[in-house]
Amino acid sequence: MSGENTVREIGHDEFDPYGTLALILIYFAILSVMWVFMYFVEFLGNDLTVLA
């Protein structure tokens, strides 16, 4: 079922996508930091807060 370059078959139960987990945790961290920065510094720190 897999391509010509397969050197080993890995089934669902023996596959732990820990590389993916690591990448996605990095993504999560970036998103969280950027959100806090954008909301609290860029937006709330900006001029002319709309009050009503």
Partner 1 sequence: MNRTSKAGILVGSGMLFVIVWEIRSALGLLVGIDTNPQLYMLLTLAIVGLTAFALAIGLIGVTPETPADEDTS
Partner 2 sequence: MNIHNYEKLWLVLAMVMIIGFISTVVYGATAVGIEMVNDEGGTIDSTALEEDDRFAEPRVERVGDNEYEAYVVARQFIFEPDPIEIPANSTLTFYVTSPDVIHGFEVVGTNANAMVIPGEVTELTVELNEPGEYGILCNEYCGGGHHTMEGKLIVQPEDEFEQGGNDE
Partner 3 sequence: MSEQLESGAPTFLDDYPKEAAVVKAALWSSFIALALGAVFGVIQALHRTNILRLIDSTDYYTVLTAHGVLMVVSFTIFFLVGLFTWATVRSFDRGVESIRYTWTWYGLMVAGTLMAVVAILGGFVPQTDISADVLFTFYAPMQAHPLFYGGLTIFVIGTWLAGADWFWSWRAWKAENPDERIPLQAFMVLTTMLMWYIATIGIAIAVVVFLLPWSLGIFDQINPLLTRTLFWFWGHPVVYFWLMPAYLLWYTVLPTISGGRLFSDPLARGVFVLFLLLSTPVGIHHQYVDPGIAEGFKVIAMTNTMFLLLPSLLTAFTVVASVEHGARQRGGTGLFGWLRALPWRDPAFTGMMLAGLMFAAGGFSGMINAGMNINYLIHNTIWVPGHFHLTVGTAVALTFMAATYWLWPQLTNRRLFSRPIALAQVVIWFVGMGLMSNAMHVMGLFGVPRRTAEPQYEGFEFVTSFGSITELRLQLAIGGTLLFISTVLFVSNIALSAGAPKLSGLGKPLSEPLSGAHDSPEILDNLKLWFGIAFVLVVLAYSLPLASIISRGGVLGPGVDPVPMIIEPLGATLEPLVASLQPLLGRLAAVVGGVGA
State the residues that interact with partner 3 by CB under 8 A. 1-3, 5-12, 15, 17-20, 22-24, 27, 30-31, 34-35, 38-39, 42-43, 46, 50
Binding mask 25-44 for partner 1 (x = CB under 8 A): ------------x---xx--
Cα dist from 1 to 6, 10, 17, 25, 30, whole Å: 10, 12, 20, 31, 37
Binding residue (CB under 8 A) for partner 1 from 5, 20, 46, 49: 5
Residue 27 in tokens: 């993504």
Other Cβ atoms less than 10 A from the Cβ of 16: the count is: 9
